[in-house]
Chains A and B, each alone.
Chain A
């Protein structure tokens, strides 16, 4: 019954930035370091993690769990060819992305009960509650972005949504109605420019409910994403990660996020065409090296 897994959530609010590619290959790299790894395709409704592993026929998937055909998620663990690495394939039933709240809670509970060393969650694009709620159970999230402006903007907005959701949950629990109302005001920049930054929100909290400042600070200190700049080509792409990190620090008071890069590499496309993970097809490629170094950092 012990739940010891370190949960790693892959978030890439912009579609197609490399969540699935990195989830699969990072899981392999962790397994190759001797860790027991389970990777779960939680891109409900648009799953494709299994294809990266070359699994053509999915014998069972999350759909079976969602449709109550199997009671426990652990029954869906599928062995991969890689020692120590199991996968839970995603399902593709229409409307599944809008899971009913109670079903979602059941799924979240079952996911966090999976026992292994590293539980890697491949999530959908966007900043929906589905994604945010899964990020909340993770000890570590990897915020995946490409160096382009639209992806960087989404990355920043995602972290802001996550923070607001965490704060709102905490204030609801503590019945801090005045602070819930403050959070609502803070969403309207134009009307309340003074609440544009977390510093501004903290200042206002000090005035209306000073005892809650410590809660805010605690929540802020718990959000420490690793920013992954994927498809990086040049040194200046690394700078894109640093810029977003700096903005998150300056405006959202996120203190200790880190920036790493994963190179743009033809080896990824080549492996993809062969339905093989790049880490196995081209273990010496630049892409593989970058993924291995992230795995090393996590362990």
Chain B
């Protein structure tokens, strides 16, 4: 099986995308950069990432539409939309209107540290639930067999 990829960064801008991907990797978050829509789709299908960052700075209308479709097909993922203020506002409003797509917008100026922090926070919530308590081993009791009988598990 392919190695896990938690975060996919989609950006036409090699510099912005590159910085963000590097920053994630430096924080030991396995991240991958894509700059083509078909590749992005393939990567999502293959790796089922938890988080997708889409940079829509200077994006064309057709690209925006394709990205909206991708969001719709991947509502399990958490989307972080970055780019110019107006574009981000519109995209986030669109996603919030369409069912309950989980996303946040982070408007320019581009702040890779803040984006990476948001990614870490989300991963932390999704992958490692915060509480760390020991699980308790049940003692043998009639309760278990009672419950199993009621639940038709025996």
Where the two chains meet, the residues of A that have a C-beta atom closer than 8 Å to any C-beta of B are: 1-4, 6, 105, 108-109, 112-113, 137, 139-140, 149, 152-153, 156-157, 170, 173, 189-190, 196, 214-215, 218, 221-222, 224, 226, 236, 238-247, 251, 256-260, 297-299
> Is A247 a contact of B153 with CB atoms below 8 Å?
yes
> Is A152 a contact of B147 with CB atoms below 8 Å?
yes
A105 and B99 CA atoms in complex are apart in Å by 7
Binding site of A, secondary structure by majority: helix, strand, loop or mixed? helix
Sample of 5 further A-B pairs with CB below 8 A, known A243-B141, A257-B135, A297-B133 = A112-B100, A218-B76, A222-B126, A243-B143, A251-B153
Q: Would you call B130 an interface residue if the criterion is a C-beta within 8 Å of the partner chain's C-beta atoms?
A: yes
> Is B151 a contact of A245 with CB atoms below 8 Å?
no
Most buried by B among A1, A149, A152, A156: A1
> In the assembled complex, which residues on chain A have CB atoms less than 8 Å from the CB atom of B132?
297
Where the two chains meet, the residues of B that have a C-beta atom closer than 8 Å to any C-beta of A are: 48, 73, 75-76, 89, 92, 96-97, 99-100, 102, 104-106, 118, 121, 125-127, 129-133, 135-139, 141, 143-144, 146-148, 150-153
> Is B136 a contact of A242 with CB atoms below 8 Å?
yes
Report the nearest B residue to A226, measured CB to CB.
B131
What are 6 residue pairs bridging A and B, where the CB atoms are less than 8 Å apart in the complex?
A152-B143, A244-B147, A245-B135, A247-B144, A297-B130, A299-B130
> In the assembled complex, which residues on chain B have CB atoms less than 8 Å from the CB atom of A153?
147, 150-151
> Is A189 a contact of B75 with CB atoms below 8 Å?
no
Nearest CB in chain B: distance from A148 CB, A:
10
Report the nearest A residue to B97, measured CB to CB.
A109
Nearest CB in chain B: distance from A56 CB, A:
34
Report the nearest B residue to A235, measured CB to CB.
B139
> Is A239 a contact of B139 with CB atoms below 8 Å?
yes
Nearest CB in chain B: distance from A46 CB, A:
24
Most buried by B among A4, A140, A226, A242: A242
> Is B133 a contact of A238 with CB atoms below 8 Å?
no
With A4-B121, A6-B125, A298-B131: A241-B147 Cβ-Cβ less than 8 Å: no
Contact of A298 among B75, B130, B146, B148 (CB under 8 A): B130
> Is A105 a contact of B100 with CB atoms below 8 Å?
yes
A226 and B125 CA atoms in complex are apart in Å by 14
Contact of A240 among B73, B99, B118, B143 (CB under 8 A): B143
